[in-house]
Structure 1
Amino acid sequence: YIGKYVNFNEVYKGEKGPLDVNYWVLDYNLPKAKTYFPDQVHKMFKAFEHWFGPYPFYEDGYQLIDASHTGMEHQSAVSYGNNYKFGYRGRDASGYGWGMKFDFIIIHESGHEWFGNNITTNDLADMWVHEGFTNYSETLFVDYHFGEQAGNEYNYGIRKGIRNDKPIIPDYNVNAQGSGDMYPKGGNMLHSIRHGLNNDVLFRNILRGLNKKFYHKTVTSAQVEAYISEMGKFNYVKVFDQYLRTTQIPTFNFSIENGKLTYRYSNSVDGFNMPLVLKNGNTTLKLSPTTTAKTLVLKPGEEKLFTVDAIEKMFYVKAVNEK
């Protein structure tokens, strides 16, 4: 970078101890940067060290650098060009207002320190590991600072950016890059897995475990998929195949008659079996749908769980009430 840069710095008390933080800004941005940068960076570290574990580069420190382009996830030297505005250049990707509660570039590009820089894929075809997890880091940031409902709304809102134009994972060993859906669709897949687990302690341990097991390593999607299945104690192979290797949006078909629920998946890969957990207040119901129809006699109050809007906000499926 070429310009008249000035520096200010601090020591952040992180999960792993004191972390050197340096801010390099163009001289005319210094007055606003001195309050704006630390506020967003501290909030980023609080959320991401909670969910992902310690910042992976304590030895190198963390730097945020003014730039003329929008931003990039350079390891331990994140570049920034979001005009000191919340959202993505002043825009909210979610449509719910939550995207205007934080600086998208600082949060997203810093999220890559864990997924992209700490954990790096061997093949460009597996780039969803970088971008899907980092897209989901935005939801986790919103969830941490503004609550679960806010996180659900943010994640659901960015779904409108999914095109389903081609699979996220293309051919291997030919330097091919899959669909840009690796960002919002990857994030929505992880959100669906999380809510199907219905155990944020376990989900957090999976995220932290990934960053510990694959610390400063290159990986394949297969390794990441296998780790999530192992730690989640569920075989997610069909879930990953559905969202990473097809363009189909799975349909959750259901009907209720005289208190009896009939349900199944359609428009999906054979054997698609993503667990669903439906919640409303103190009522929780776990379902294990497959492509074969199942039935269940509902208990009092459980019928209220079956609203299309609530199901679709929690899971990236098309919910269809067939009654």
Structure 2
Amino acid sequence: MLFRITAILFFLGAFLQARSQTTANFEGIYQFNLDVTRLLMIRSDSGKLWLHQGVSNRTPIIPLSGNKFEVANLKPVVTLDFQVDGQGRTTGMLVEQGGGKVQCFKLRETLDMPNAGRLSNRKNGFTRADTLRGMLSPLRTCYDVSFYHLTVDVNPEKRLLSGSTIIRFNTVSPFSRLQIDLYAEMAIDSIIYKGRPLPYTREFNAVFVDFPGTFKKGEKGAFEVFYHGHPQEPDLNAPMHGGFLWRLDDNRKPFIQVACQGSGASLWWPNKDHLSDEPDSMRMTVTVPEGLQNISNGRLQRQLTLPDKRNLTEWLVTYPINNYNVTVNIGDYRHIADTLGSLTLDYYYLPHHRDSAMKLFKEVKPMLRFMQEHFGPYPFLRDGFRLIETPHPMEHQSIVAMGGLGGGHESLRRLMWHETAHEWWGNNVSIKDVADFWLHEGFARYTEMLGVRLYKGEPEALRQLANDKPANKEPVIGVRDVNHIHYGLWDVYGKGCRIVQMVRAIMNDDERFFDLLRGIQQDFRLQTVTTGNITGYIIRRTGLDLQPFFDQYLLDTRIPELQLDYRQEGADLVLRYKWANTIDNFRMPVRADIPGQRPLFLEATNSWKTIRLKNTVEKDLLLDTAHFYITVKKTEG
């Protein structure tokens, strides 16, 4: 009897140990192939397996049979079916919910889930590191970058970058010390000036470089920064937390991109990382493993296979460019070339998305014709226009990243219009400080709505915009001088779009409105700007007193309320009206329509005004709340 019990315990222990080894093999980072930006982590803790979506958001998974598990407490039920190869290694898992199945590839065995950590914002406060990143101190204003030459070797297996940046500059004011930027995770090997190493110190992500002498105003100089490291990866649970996306395509080949708007280009290469200073031109030399291509900004200058079979490409940008727009896109790409007049068009896609890519690319020419008609000529003619399939969408100058091309066509079209609009609104006319981010996203979202209107009609465009409700938790304008990007920023899209739409509605003259947009593109061509530059320009060009309007919608979170008081006097309607829930001295005309009559604009202010409407009853008066972002309240007496 004792022998039988001992034997049972032995075999039970062996079974549990084998089970433990099997479940331990499931640990690792997985990509959600339907949206390859999204990562899942399986982790063993306290004798259980846990599914993590983000570092702290975890849910236990319950064994069913074999390699199949159920995610606890989810309805409809979600099951995870782990896939194991002949050597017992987990290669992926199949996620099933409600009859739908999504493949996940296992990216790595490690449990290093991207984690943004503490985010600086109005609520959490700002730090010395934020000031070093966002402020134009004398150590940054003393020089102006004229040219970068970035050389980088990309090693997907190790998630490692190594290379250098040559920085050429013009001296704005005398200096012997300057600041460049490179994230602390990235090591500096040396900084070389005229063949000799320069001393430097680091504080957070700022690098202070000392030169042997003083540069005089107007003097030119150059130095080279050698570096290597594992760049930050984006935590997609945090708004605008950028980094390298190390992913796999459907054939399990590396599919890699960098997206660093907000976090800044210094997360992966050394530069003067402030939006106000764009180089006049830039060269990028990028080396990737055998069997992959890299597509970057500008024109391809040369391409060669190195003795070790790696592929090298060199790209040249001949226009000023935002640092965050500088990019690498690495994958097993297919290519199509075309032209629109003298503008070259290039498209890059993954082989398994050919059909959806072809359908989308057919709409590029009419889209570009529309944007050139309404905004002015394409800004980067020498560098051409290209679309590329990537893990994540992003408006990288002259090589617009589309994200995956496996989605629905209408959503892809809308995304294409938005990201392409940034070639004008963001890349040609660019902000000096990320606090003015709405100038990029508000105008791009409005362009997106113009595309919906073109294909689906204005009612559908207004319906889609109405579904994009602003949160109104923070002002549209962020905090200056601290790179304030990690806040409730989504209002820069939907509310920013409504601001542009209201300018058009107030002007009530489409020819003048689009002439205004073309004027902004021409008069601020290849420049960095502030909100004041653009709003001041709009006020001057239109001759309208719009400063209270901009102050209300950009600096205040309240939605203006139009208060109305009706009184019927025979056939006439006597209407009293004023604004409430606004800043002091707010004023804005709002359109009202009466059947059979010309549109009426109520010149409302914070004080009551009265108007008599002939042959009108209350139900005939229709306030234009579709084009004006307001609320309406009927008062008594």
What do the CA deviations read for 1:60-101 (whole angstroms, capped 9, x no partner)? Answer: 1110011122x00000100112434347xxxxxxxxxxxx47
**Contact (CA 8 Å) 2:560, 2:581: kept in 1 or not?**
yes
| Residue equivalent to 1:75 | 397
Residue 346 (structure 2) pairs with residue 22 (structure 1): yes
What do the CA deviations read for 1:101-158 (whole angstroms, capped 9, x no partner)? Answer: 7622211111111111011010111111011111111122223344433333333332
Mapped partners of 1:228, 1:166: distance in 2: 24
Count matched residues: 301
| Residue equivalent to 2:480 | 172
Give the C-alpha shift of residue 304 in structure 1: 4.8
Residue 385 (structure 2) pairs with residue 62 (structure 1): yes
> Which structure is richer in relative contact order (CA contacts within 8 A, separation 6 or more)?
1
Give the C-alpha shift of residue 215 in structure 1: 0.7
Residue 627 (structure 2) pairs with residue 319 (structure 1): no
Identity %: 33
Give the C-alpha shift of residue 280 in structure 1: 5.3
| Residue equivalent to 1:277 | 591
What do the CA deviations read for 1:29-56 (whole angstroms, capped 9, x no partner)? Answer: 23442232222x2342133223212221
| Residue equivalent to 1:233 | 543
Mapped partners of 1:311, 1:200: distance in 2: 17
| Residue equivalent to 1:300 | 615
**Contact (CA 8 Å) 1:131, 1:183: kept in 2 or not?**
yes
What secondary structure does 1:270 align onto? coil
**Greater Rg over alpha carbons, structure:** 2
Mapped partners of 1:264, 1:151: distance in 2: 29
One-letter identity of the residue aligned with 2:628: F
One-letter identity of the residue aligned with 1:55: Y
What do the CA deviations read for 1:266-314 (whole angstroms, capped 9, x no partner)? Answer: 000111111112235653101210001100001335855534xx52212
Mapped partners of 1:156, 1:273: distance in 2: 23
Q: Give the 3 Å change call, closer, same or farther, for CA 293–11 of structure 1 in structure 2.
A: same
Mapped partners of 1:42, 1:313: distance in 2: 30
Mapped partners of 2:348, 2:405: distance in 1: 14
Mapped partners of 1:302, 1:173: distance in 2: 53
One-letter identity of the residue aligned with 2:383: D
| Residue equivalent to 1:152 | 462
Give the C-alpha shift of residue 59 in structure 1: 1.6
Give the C-alpha shift of residue 221 in structure 1: 0.5
One-letter identity of the residue aligned with 1:173: D
Mapped partners of 1:79, 1:237: distance in 2: 36
One-letter identity of the residue aligned with 2:405: N
Structure 1: stretches of 5+ with no match in the other structure: 88-99
Q: Point out the structure with the larger strand share.
A: 2
**Contact (CA 8 Å) 2:562, 2:578: kept in 1 or not?**
yes
| Residue equivalent to 2:605 | 290
In the superposition, the TM-score normalised over structure 1's length comes to 0.87
Following TM superposition, the consecutive aligned residue runs of length 4 or more in structure 1 with deviations greater than 4 angstroms are: 301-305
**Contact (CA 8 Å) 2:594, 2:621: kept in 1 or not?**
no
Give the C-alpha shift of residue 319 in structure 1: 1.1
What do the CA deviations read for 1:175-215 (whole angstroms, capped 9, x no partner)? Answer: 22363211100111211221121111111111111111111
| Residue equivalent to 2:339 | 11
**Contact (CA 8 Å) 1:139, 1:155: kept in 2 or not?**
yes
Q: Quick one: which of 163, 170, 178 aligns to 2:471?
A: 163
Mapped partners of 1:59, 1:280: distance in 2: 51
Mapped partners of 1:305, 1:23: distance in 2: 52
Mapped partners of 1:191, 1:280: distance in 2: 21
Mapped partners of 1:275, 1:155: distance in 2: 21
Residue 446 (structure 2) pairs with residue 109 (structure 1): no
Mapped partners of 1:276, 1:108: distance in 2: 28
**Contact (CA 8 Å) 2:391, 2:404: kept in 1 or not?**
no
Q: Give the 3 Å change call, closer, same or farther, for CA 131–101 of structure 1 in structure 2.
A: closer
One-letter identity of the residue aligned with 1:164: N
What secondary structure does 2:615 align onto? coil
One-letter identity of the residue aligned with 1:152: L
CA RMSD, Structure 1 to Structure 2 (Å): 2.0
Higher mean displacement: 176-185 or 196-205:
176-185
In the superposition, the TM-score normalised over structure 2's length comes to 0.45
Q: Point out the structure with the larger helix share.
A: 1
Mapped partners of 2:437, 2:333: distance in 1: 33
**Contact (CA 8 Å) 2:397, 2:423: kept in 1 or not?**
yes
Q: Give the 3 Å change call, closer, same or farther, for CA 183–32 of structure 1 in structure 2.
A: closer
| Residue equivalent to 2:20 | none
Mapped partners of 1:236, 1:7: distance in 2: 47
What secondary structure does 1:2 align onto? strand
Mapped partners of 1:186, 1:203: distance in 2: 16
